[in-house]
Amino acid sequence: MVRVTSVCAVTVIATESLSKRFPRVTALDRLSVDVGPGVTGLVGANGAGKSTLIKILLGLSPATEGRAEVLGLDVATEGAAIRERVGYMPEHDCLPPDVSATEFVVHMARMSGLPPTAARERTADTLRHVGLYEERYRPIGGYSTGMKQRVKLAQALVHDPQLVFLDEPTNGLDPVGRDEMLGLIRRIHTDFGISVLVTSHLLGELERTCDHVVVVDGGTLLRSSSTTDFTQTTTTLAIEVTDTDEHPDGTRAVREALHARGVGVEDGSGLPGAGHVLLLTAQGEETYDLVRDVIADLGLGLVRMEQRRHHISEVFRNSDEERKETAGHDS
């Protein structure tokens, strides 16, 4: 089998004016989008057509019109071949409570065509990679939501697919679990070499995880571009400094010094450690130099200076408003 993930110019998913109409709703409306390797976020409100798109891409639901290819295979005619190379993690609960994670994932590996021994080995490997250890021998019924999500992820990865569809993988997780899941999703691409299509209605999540974001709404494509495009227009710097005897409130000293040089500074309110964090807009290389010099002159220690990217949500909100103004459409 040819692994296409290493070649960066290859298209993993391609749709061409793909439409899906149900008797009363249009779930997808002439959607044309190309998705390359890497982690791609599919963003949209509930009912935007994300799950319908995944169903069509798995070859399980015929499109009303248009065509789509996954890994170079036509969804209408080569569904079985696609499903052999693709993993799917549904949004809803899908685990029987009375079997252990190991038994369940082994069974699913065999359903994907893995011989018994390989199924066992891959299950042990995959469960370890998603972070399930001793508990994998216990019945799934006793697992926490986070652990269940890991089992769901493991069954999607166990047959070493070239592409996985993850439908709302962070649903129902607490902030820590959410971060861990996002880290795991990132690793699926960077460490495992598997391309990912992840859906979410939370844009902030995808910003940190995805290389590319596709925004759909009401079944139409709102925007498709790389995450850096979304967020690189301006860069905000977050700065945190130490206090010294000479300057008991280092943060204020820096703010005043920067003010004197004509640079506008905001408090990092709403951020962790608010009151000790300064936010300023970087105009270019010279801003970094200025900050360095100011802090060195004051004799303070620089705890951190980091780029804070703009949130995709702002972009989404803007384009959404534009669209609503022009089309006057409501969903």
User: How far is 293 from 211, CA to CA, in rounded Å?
Assistant: 34
Is position 301 an interface residue for another protein (rule: CB under 8 A)?
Answer: no
Identify whether the C-beta of residue 40 lies closer than 8 Å to the C-beta of residue 58: no
**Contacts of another protein in 134-163 (CB under 8 A):** 139, 155, 159-160
Name the one range near another protein by CB under 8 A: 101-109, 228-236, 274-282, 304-312: 101-109
The residues, ordered by sequence, that sit 6+ positions from 296 with a Cβ below 8 Å of its Cβ are none
| Nearer Cβ to another protein (167/207) | 167
Burial class (CB within 10 angstroms; exposed 0-12, middle 13-18, buried 19+) of 289: exposed
In terms of Cα–Cα distance, which of 249, 250, 255 is closest to 267?
255
Shortest separation between residue 123's beta carbon and another protein, angstroms: 11
Interface residue with another protein among 21, 110, 308, 323 (CB under 8 A) is 110
User: How far is 11 from 195, CA to CA, in rounded Å?
Assistant: 11
User: How far is 41 from 39, CA to CA, in rounded Å?
Assistant: 7
**Contacts of another protein in 42-71 (CB under 8 A):** 55, 58, 60-61
Is position 198 an interface residue for another protein (rule: CB under 8 A)?
Answer: no
Interface residue with another protein among 21, 30, 67, 107 (CB under 8 A) is 107
Is position 192 an interface residue for another protein (rule: CB under 8 A)?
Answer: yes
Two structure tokens written together for 33: 């989008």
Is position 125 an interface residue for another protein (rule: CB under 8 A)?
Answer: yes
Beta-carbon count within 10 A of 133 CB: 8
Chain residues in the site for another protein (CB under 8 A): 1, 3, 55, 58, 60-61, 80, 83-84, 86-88, 90, 92-99, 103, 107-108, 110-115, 118, 122, 125, 129, 139, 155, 159-160, 191-193
